[in-house]
Chain A
Amino acid sequence: MHNCKETRELFTELLLDGIDFRSDHAISVELSRCTECRSEFETLRATLRMTSRVTETAAPAEDYWPAYHSKLRQRLVDAQTPTTSRAQAQRHKEKLGPLFEPLRPGAGNSLFVRLLKTTLPVPLPLAVALVLIAALVIPFAIRAARKDVPASNTTTIVRVPVEVPVVQEKPVIQEKIVTRVVYRDRQPVVRATKRRGEASRAESTFAKSQRSRTEAVPASFAGFKPSDEVKLTVIKGGVPNEK
């Protein structure tokens, strides 16, 4: 059964490959059956032939190429300079040999440095995914590691050296307060009143009692060792109506 679409696809591919339809018996049969397909085939063959012809005619003339190649050579020479320096570095390295590799100035090609400089081409989505995974996993790992540590180890006793203050005893000034009440006789005011008798009578009674008390316990500081300072307080008075 002839299928125009399939036949056209088939002969187009044959034409693109540069194969003549006559060499393919099946195509030849299909084209002989359908005039439309045959017409389409002829059109397409002419089109592609013209396209190829254009390619041939579009080629520059022969006198174009010397200038082209001289220009290219100049660009190659310009581009060769860094390549040459690399080649010289390689030759220098070979001359020194592997034994002197670590001693070579600026030993950028030593095994350790090469390992450090090693890069792996990783697709960007994969790299992003790896970074995200690392960002999610690392905090959990740290948290899990903290949980695994025994509780006893969590409380650490830190012994802080405490300086015990040395108490130096200093002599304290002992203050002794000795209170002695000293009564003295007051000079009775003699008034020429009629109450003289009463006053003399009162004086005599009070003086007598005081005199007897003073004579009984005399005021003295015997047994008292004064320190550096003696505080003496004199209290005046003693009589309610003293002025």
Chain B
Amino acid sequence: MTERDTDAASDIDLVRRAQAEDIDAFCLLAERYARRIYLLAAHYCRNTQDAEDLSQEVWLKAYQAVQTFRFDSSFYTWLRRITINSFLNHRRSSFFRSHGQTTAVQLLQIDSEEQEALFQSSSRSQENIYNKLLFESVVNALAELTPAQRLAFLLRHYEGMTYDEIATAMNCSIGTVKKGVWRAIGKLRARLSPESDEQETLTSLASEY
């Protein structure tokens, strides 16, 4: 039995316990997948506080619906479906808190606990600042997309879903998904490619620190 099989078996066991209203088991599942859900939310919302709220909302919905899980797919696949629906509903129901994205100034405020928690390293190394500026560039590029296009790109690139799976999950056509992904790639390429002006600015900014 491989490690993946062990994890899957463990998932099934934890889900069964969660279906019997065992909160501890469900929290173990949450600890296992919370990072992936949070990162998806962070890229989607472009704001750490919104990402936390949205990811926790996903877990709450999953807990309330765990009785309906029929074990005909992996737990994460089922959870990802809830995540996508939550993202789309969140987009319909409210504006994101920031009405935009995290700015470079915010990212460079090391005293801010919220922004500090965003990054693993606490040192003000050149690489760290470069990463922060890089993150801002990615976020800015994604901000130019519609939420649906952004979500399609995130699911394709970060989650490795096929176009067919994304189209089914988002209830749209495969062509729409492809268009969104390609637009996202075009925006990212324009901002992050080595020959772009912004990339040069990033490098120079990072070297100054």
Contacts and interface: CB of A to CB of B under 8 A. Distances in A.
Given A16-B181, A75-B56, A64 B117 contact: yes
A76 B63 contact: yes
A183 B119 CA distance: 154
Nearest to B158: A55
A65 B56 CA distance: 12
Chief secondary structure at chain B's binding surface:
helix
Contact of A47 (B26, B39, B160, B185): B185
Given A54-B131, A79-B64, A68 B52 contact: yes
B181 to A, nearest CB: 7
Contacts of A75: 56, 60
Given A46-B194, A55-B158, A76 B117 contact: no
A41 to B, nearest CB: 11
B192 interface: yes
Nearest to A18: B160
A76 B22 CA distance: 11
Interface stretch (B5-13, B30-38, B76-84, B92-100): B30-38
A83 B138 CA distance: 41
A77 B23 contact: yes
Contacts of A186: none
Given A47-B193, A83-B64, A54 B134 contact: yes
Contact of B38 (A12, A60, A71, A80): A60
B170 interface: no
B158 A76 contact: no
A75 B57 CA distance: 9
Interface in A28-86: 43-44, 46-48, 50-55, 57-65, 68-69, 71-73, 75-77, 79-80, 83-84
Given A16-B181, A55-B39, A61 B26 contact: no
A83 B21 contact: yes
A53 B156 contact: no
Contacts of A17: 160
Interface size class of B (residues with CB under 8 A): 35 or more
B138 A48 contact: no
Contacts of B59: 72, 76
Contacts of B134: 50, 53-54, 57
A107 interface: no
Given A65-B34, A68-B52, A79 B60 contact: yes
A63 B117 CA distance: 8
Contact of B185 (A12, A53, A57): A12
Contacts of B42: 58
Contacts of B195: 43
B189 interface: yes
A73 B189 contact: no
Interface string B102-136: 00000000000000111110100000000110110
A193 to B, nearest CB: 142
Contacts of A54: 131, 134-135, 138
Nearest to A73: B27
B179 interface: no
Contact of A71 (B56, B160, B188): B56
Contacts of A83: 21, 64
B120 A61 contact: yes
Contact of B188 (A47, A55, A59): A47
A63 B113 CA distance: 12
Interface string B37-54: 011001100001000100
B38 A51 contact: no
B27 A51 contact: no
Contacts of B131: 53-54, 57
Interface in B142-189: 156-158, 160, 181-182, 185, 188-189
17 contacts: A18-B160, A43-B193, A43-B194, A43-B195, A46-B194, A47-B185, A47-B188, A47-B193, A51-B157, A54-B134, A59-B39, A60-B48, A61-B120, A64-B117, A72-B56, A76-B60, A83-B21
Interface of A: 12, 16-18, 43-44, 46-48, 50-55, 57-65, 68-69, 71-73, 75-77, 79-80, 83-84, 87
